[in-house]
Amino acid sequence: MRPPPLVLASASPRRRELLARIGVEPAETDPADIDETPRSAERPRHYAVRMAAEKAAAVAPRHSGSLVLAADTVVAAGRRILPKTEEEGEARTCLNLLSGRRHRVLSAVTLVDAEGQAHHKLSTTIVTFKRLTDAEVAAYLARGEWRGKAGGYAIQGFAESWVRFLSGSHSGVIGLPLYETRTLLEHAGYSLG
């Protein structure tokens, strides 16, 4: 019996690339269009899980009988949810906040199975950056890698050279924790290479 087709509820090329690393090619991508505004006093962990679940719930009704995979990645400094930076000043603020300190990257995954049941996993990764100089921040901002990235950085780019310590899922920091994703897919009967 063939497994149901997999729909990726994301437009992220990074998530497609990460899935390809474990031999998974979604049959289709169908990004969720939902409000991603954090609720008042919402904790980063709850926010990440809620976003992944809401993305999957928004897309699943359009793909009855398919597997629908959604994810959300949040960079947190303490209880503070850092934004997906769209403006240079916002990215500078995030990088200055993360400079020389430890932060968490929470990457939540939701898989809605062919019967419409949602299954959830959460990866928590601890990342510590070196202390950044103003010149390093300015040079990074000029590269443009920060655009649309949670916390103002992309670990798969130049910012990886700032990481003094990482404990957890490197792929989760990029945007999709592969161990948790693989576990969900295998549980749903999706065969992996």
pLDDT in tens, 66-82: 999 999 999 999 999 99
In a domain? residue 145 = yes
pLDDT (0 to 100) of residue 1: 61
DSSP 184: H
In a domain? residue 1 = no
Which residue of the set 30, 35, 72, 113 is catalytic?
Answer: 72
Give the chain's domain count. 1
Chain center to CA of 170: 11
Mean pLDDT of 63-67: 95
In a domain? residue 120 = yes
pLDDT in tens, 171-181: 999 999 999 99
Residue 193 has pLDDT above 70, yes or no: no
Chain center to CA of 62: 22
Structure tokens at 143: 């590269």
Cα 52 from Cα 2, distance rounded (Å): 26
Residue 63's pLDDT band, with cuts at 50, 70 and 90, is very high
Residues 6+ apart with CB under 8 A from 176: 14, 15, 18, 19, 71, 73, 107, 109
In a domain? residue 192 = no
Mean pLDDT score across all residues of the chain: 96
**Residue in 72, 77, 75, 66 with CA at minimum distance from that of residue 185:** 66
Question: Domain of 173?
Answer: 6-187
Residue 158 has pLDDT above 70, yes or no: yes
Cα 117 from Cα 166, distance rounded (Å): 33
30 is catalytic: no
pLDDT (0 to 100) of residue 2: 73
pTM summary value: 0.94
In a domain? residue 193 = no
Contact 56, 70 (CB under 8 A): yes
pLDDT in tens, 40-62: 999 999 999 999 999 999 999 99
Would you call 29 exposed, middle or buried from its count of C-beta atoms within 10 A (0-12, 13-18, 19+)?
A: middle
